[in-house]
Amino acid sequence: MGMNVVDKIDDKVRINTMLVSVSDKTGLDTFIPGMVAANPGLKILSTGGTFGKIKEILGDRADGVLEQVSAYTGQPETQGGLVKTLDFKIYLGLLTETYNDAHQEDLKRTGALSIDMVVVNLYPFSDTIAKDGVTVENARGNIDIGGPTMIRASAKNFIRVASVVDPASYGDILDKVKAQDGALSLADRYELAKKAFAHTSEYDTAISKYLAAQAFDQVKSCYNTMPGKA
């Protein structure tokens, strides 16, 4: 099947639905209320600790605005948070194109929302491996899968979706959203996409360098601690 080549897009895209799942919760206390004020009717999908933080920030205003990703997808989070956002409805919402009729039919068929902004940042892998006594298994368990995937999907679809990875950019984004009637422009989304791919590149590089530096005996030590293994 050939790749889609888009020949019609919107410059300004209003942020009606956003997905928020962050390790660094700095700035959410001003960013989230600001986005809600700028976009009456805004829907926020969120997970885990981020959901709890946003609910605390919004208080009574959370009703009708904030929804757990698990409630939206109909799939509970896997134990330990292993699988939370890797769901067909989420990625339809991130990757579908506005003027693609087949994509729009997929959204209708599944009851999926078109997601206009993703706010995701990753726990710095370098912080994990810098801790005293960290094992390869500790490091492996802290490799984020859903976060980079959401960032990459939203950044790939910058023709419609804003990918936000840096809390330091919240103020500038709020200013632009307020000045553009709740929307971001194609230029805004393109700049955010460049930052997003840099973020995932740095993350993957940290993982790659760490694994390359580990002797296989350190990997075997994890295996040998498992029940029933000699």
The pair of three-digit structure tokens given for residue 108, joined into one six-digit string: 């209708």
Global confidence as pTM: 0.86
For residue 81, the model assigns a pLDDT of 55
228 alpha-carbon distance from chain centroid: 38
Query: Could you tell me which residue, 118 or 49, shows the higher pLDDT?
Result: 118
Mean of pLDDT values over 97-123: 78
Cα 135 to Cα 221: distance, rounded to the nearest angstrom: 9
Name the least confident of 20-24, 108-112, 194-198. Answer: 108-112
The pair of three-digit structure tokens given for residue 106, joined into one six-digit string: 């997929």
Mean of pLDDT values over 149-165: 96
- pLDDT tens profile 71-108: 987 666 655 555 556 677 888 889 886 656 665 686 68
How many CB atoms neighbour CB 83 within 10 A? 14
Q: Which domains are present in the chain?
A: 13-224 (3.40.50.1380)
- pLDDT tens profile 38-64: 998 999 999 888 999 999 999 999 999
For residue 230, the model assigns a pLDDT of 46
Cα 139 to Cα 182: distance, rounded to the nearest angstrom: 40
- pLDDT tens profile 210-229: 999 888 877 776 665 555 55
